[in-house]
Structure 1
Amino acid sequence: MKIVIAGGHGKIALLLERLITQAGHDAVGIVRNPAHVADVKATGATAIVRDLEQMDEDDLAVDLEQADAVVFAAGAGPNSGAERKFAVDRDAAILLADAASRVSVPRYVLISAMGADSYDPATAVLPAADDRAVFQVYLRAKAEADANIRARGFQWTIVRPGGLLDTPGQGTVRAGTAVPRGSVSRADVAAVVLEALLAGAAIGRQFELTSGDVPIHEALAAL
C-alpha cells in the first residue's frame, strides 16, 4: 500500500510514517521545508518537497499517482494568523482532495479537530480581531474542509482528536460522533489513522477521539 501524507513533518505525521513503514507499506511525506527531508527519511518514508500553498492540483496530482490513500495531517500551526488557517487547514486539504480525485486515489483520511462545527460564525471571519477570533477561524477552516471531503466520493475518514499530547501511546482510546472533551496522545492518533488505513476501518465516519480504555481496533469497529 502506498500512502501519501500532506504535512509530512508534523508530529503525528512522523509517527504515522514510521508505523506505515514498519508495517511493510510505503509512506510518502510531503514537506514544505527542504530541511525537514532528513527527518522524514529517518522514519523509513520517502520525502518530497512541495508547498501546498503555492501549487495547483495538476502539479500535486503527479505526486499522488499510484497512491492507494492520502492523509491530510498538515496545519498552519499555533502561531499562524487567520489567513493561513484558511490557506492551510481548509484550502490545502481541499487541494489534496482535488488532486487525489484527479488520479483516482480512493482513500482519504483527514485529521481535523474536536468541536470544529461549534465555531462562532460571527467571529470566524477575516480580519481576525484577536486570538479568540483566530481560533474560531481555525475551527471554521477545519469544519469547511471536513464538509468538503464528506461530500466527495472518497472512502473517507475524518478524525477529530482532542488536545494533543506528546506522551507514549496507550493503544486504547475513546471514539464516537461526540465524546466529552479531553486529550489524546499523538502516538494514539497515528495508530488510529494506521488502523483506519490498513484495516479499512471507519470508512464514511467522522468521529471525535480522546484517550480511553477501548482497544483501537475495537473502537473503530464500533463506529
Structure 2
Amino acid sequence: MKVIVIGANGQVGKHIVRLLEADSNYSVTAMIRKEEQKKAYEENGVKAVLGNLEDGVDELTKVIEGHDAVIFTAGSGSKTGPDKTLLVDLDGAVKSMEAAEKAGANRFIMVSAIQAHNRESWKNSPIRPYFTAKHYADRELMRSNLNYTIVRPGGLTNDPGTGMVEAKENLERSTIPREDVARTVVAALKEENTYRRSFDLVSGNTPVEAALKNL
C-alpha cells in the first residue's frame, strides 16, 4: 500500500513515517512544506514531496496521485492564531479530502482531537477555534465517499510509547504518547473494524491491535 503522510514533519507525523518505513507492507511518502525538511527526509532514504495546504485542490491532487491512502496529521500549531487554524486544520483538511477523492486515494485517516465531535465538551475551551476546526473537518470527512477512520487522541505527550491504549467512541479526557497515536494510526490502515468509524484514544491497558478490533 502506498501511503502519503500529510504533516510528516510534525511530531506525530515523524513517528508515523518511521513506522511505515519499517513495515515492508507499505511504501511511504512524506509531504512537507519546506525544502530543508524534504532534504532531511531524503538523506534518511525516505521519499518526500513538497506540498502546501493553502494551495488549491488541483495542486494537492497532483501530490497525492499514485497513492492508495492518505494520513492527515497536519496542524497549524500552537504558535499561530485562529486564522491559520481555519486555513490549515479546517480548509486544508477538507481540500486534502477533495484531492484524495480526485486522485483515487480512497483510504483516509484523520488525526483529530479527543471529543472533537462533542461541542459541549469544549464550549469553554481556550482553544475552541482548534476544536471547531477539527469538528467540521471530521464532519466533512464523514460526508465524503472516502473510506475514512477518524482517530481522536487525548493530550499528547513525548513519553515513550507503551503500545497499550483505550479506544472508544467516547472517553474522558486523558493523555497518550505521540508514539502510541502513531502506532494506532498505522494499525488502523488495514484494520477493517476501523473503516468509516471514529473514536477517542488515550493510554490504557489494551494492546493497540486488540483495542481496534474491540471498537
Specify the TM-score bucket, using the shorter chain as the normaliser: over 0.9
Q: Which residue of 1 aligns with 2:27?
A: 26
Select which of 131, 142, 145 maps to 2:137. 145
Alignment partners' CA distance in 2, 1:178 and 1:138: 19
TM-score, normalized by length of structure 2? 0.93
Name the structure 2 match of 1:101: 101
Matches of 2:102 and 2:3, distance apart in 1: 16
Structure 1 residue 51 corresponds to structure 2 residue 52? yes
Amino acid of the structure 1 residue aligned with 2:74: A
Listed as ranges, the matches of 1:30-109 within 5 Å are: 30-41=31-42, 44-53=45-54, 55-109=55-109
Q: Relative to 1, partners in 2 of residues 1:172 and 1:11: Cα closer, same or farther, differing over 3 Å?
A: same
SS at match of 1:102: helix
Residue ranges of structure 2 left out of the alignment (5+ in a row): none
Two-structure CA RMSD over aligned residues (Å): 2.0
Q: Is the 8 A contact 1:195 1:216 kept in 2?
A: yes
Asked if 1:213 corresponds to 2:213, the answer is no
Q: Which region of structure 1 is more displaced relative to structure 2, 31-40 or 90-99? A: 31-40
Gaps (5+ residues) in structure 1? 125-130
Kept after mapping to 2: 8 A contact 1:162/1:182:
yes
SS in structure 2 of the partner of residue 8 of structure 1: coil
Q: Which amino acid aligns with 2:203?
A: S
- The separation in 1 between residues aligned to 2:87 and 2:39, in whole angstroms, is 26
Off by >6 Å, runs of 4+ in structure 1: none
Query: What does 1:149-164 correspond to in 2, within 5 Å?
Result: 149-164=141-156
The answer for the alignment partner of 2:161 in structure 1 is 169
- Superposed displacement of residue 49, structure 1: 1.3
Q: Structure 1 counterpart of 2:79, which letter?
A: N
Aligned length: 214
From 164, 169, 179, the equivalent of 1:187 is 179
**Matched ranges for 1:111-150 at <5 A:** 111-119=111-119, 132=126, 135-150=127-142
Give 1:43 deviation, angstroms: 5.7
Query: Given the superposition, is the C-alpha separation of residues 13 and 44 from structure 1 closer, same or farther in structure 2, using an over 3 Å criterion?
Result: farther
Distance 1:109 1:211 in 2: 20
Tell me the equivalent position of 2:11: 11
1:134-169 superposed Cα distances (whole Å, 9 cap, x missing partner): x11110000000000001111100000000011111
